[in-house]
Each structure stands twice: as C-alpha cells, then as structure tokens.
Structure 1
C-alpha cells in the first residue's frame, strides 16, 4: 500500500515519522463573541478556554504527526483571570514532551484586547501586557507510526 502523499509530505504517520519536537508552538487568535457570554459582566465560562486548547492541540498534532490526535487528559488547569465576551484572546500550545504516541503540551490563554465600554459602545483597547487568563497542561495521543 502506498502512503498518502499528503501525510508523507508533512511527515505524518503515513511516513512512519513525526516532526514533533519539544519547544514547538502553535498559536491562535480569536474574538470572543457575545453569544458565548453566560454570566453577569459578560463573563465566558471556563469551558471556552478548554475548547480553544483543544483547537490548538489539534493543529499541533496535524503539524507534527499528520493526524488530529485525541485529547487524553489534563494534569492541571488554572483559571487566573476572567475571559469576557468582546475580548480578543491568544491561545497557545507549547510541546513540552514527546513520547512514542503521546504529546504533552502547556497551554495558555492570554487576553490581548478588551472592550472599553466606558469610552463608547464599540470602544476597545489593546492590553499591553496581555492578561494571562487560563493555563493548563495536557496530553494528546496520536496513532502509532507506520
């Protein structure tokens, strides 16, 4: 059977190799829509950050192994500051350990922009420095190479 060319070209599991290296980072930025506000003050639930971690972990696995992978566990989750509707967040995954099939990552949500309603209905500002809102460590698994 011939390996899938797309998988081979990216070093995915079809080629029997991985490109996973400690220190690799994947980062996403997104606007938090008001439709995700669940609580007073337009607060967004913590599950929003966890879903974002799943998204960056998926991209990491695609880049390193040519497969979306599956989230196996979190060993730590810390909610450090609120995420609000109207925020612009930056979500990152950093590869900290590479096993045969497991990939351990550190995750972080940073609020890089926030609405400033006291200045006007659509006013907003860039936060410098960004506010670290959520951190976690998690493990994903990928299919065996071969």
Structure 2
C-alpha cells in the first residue's frame, strides 16, 4: 500500500470489443468510459489506501470524442485532492489505437497522438485510517 497523495496515478488499457458497439459507425456509449473509470478508481484506492473504496459522485463528465469498437483505450485516474476519507480524482479516457476498416477488414493503427475521448472529475471515499 502507498499512502494516498496528490499526483498518484493508475492507468489501464483495454481493447474495445464489438460487443460494446450500440450505434451506427460502431460507436460505443458513454457509459463504457464511466465503467472503465470505476475500474481504474478501484485500483487507485487499493494502491493508495489498501481498500477498494466507494465511488461517491462525479462533479463533471465531458464526452469529447467518439469511442468505437476496435479501439484500444487507456483510462487514467489521478488523485488531485486528499481528504481524511475522500479523494478527488481526475479521469481521462484516451483512444491510443483505432481500427482502420478503410484499409482492410482487420486493419488498425497505433495513433501517434492519442485522442482524448472522455474526461471526468469524481470523488471516492475510503474507510477512515486506523
């Protein structure tokens, strides 16, 4: 366990399967990003406080670019404020690889510049230190 501190960061990468496409153009709904933010927040709480913690709220969520089936995304959580039991966390979901169906059925590319798809700020709560 690492003591919770501002700047503590955890990152997950995940391939977005075609099961998650809900809309034309193989678009994935915004709830997918929020689910990944919950996963990365859980690890952040474990690393920082030795407990999975509880997600209390979002104060801001911005859907900035589409996420599509076939993407590889990176979800990052950074502690920006430490209270006695609460942690304010900034989240970013970036697309780091994207399918290229225009170049072939299974063609894809690693992006030289990630696309920021979703950002959010949330609060997690952990048990009081003993």
Report what 1:100 is aligned to. Answer: 84
- Give TM-score scaled by structure 2 length: 0.98
Report what 1:77 is aligned to. Answer: 61
Give the Cα separation in 1 of the matches to 2:102 and 2:49.
Answer: 47
2:30 pairs with 1:46: yes
1:129 CA drift (Å): 0.4
Over the residues paired in the alignment, what is the CA RMSD in angstroms? 0.7
- Pick one of 27, 44, 55 that aligns with 2:11: 27
The runs of 4+ residues in structure 1 deviating greater than 2 Å are none
Aligned residues: 130
- Please say which structure displays the higher CA radius of gyration: 1
What are the equivalent positions in structure 2 for 1:112-131 lying under 5 Å apart?
112-131=96-115
Structure whose residues are more often strand by fraction? 2
- Give TM-score scaled by structure 1 length: 0.88
Give the Cα separation in 1 of the matches to 2:105 and 2:114.
Answer: 22
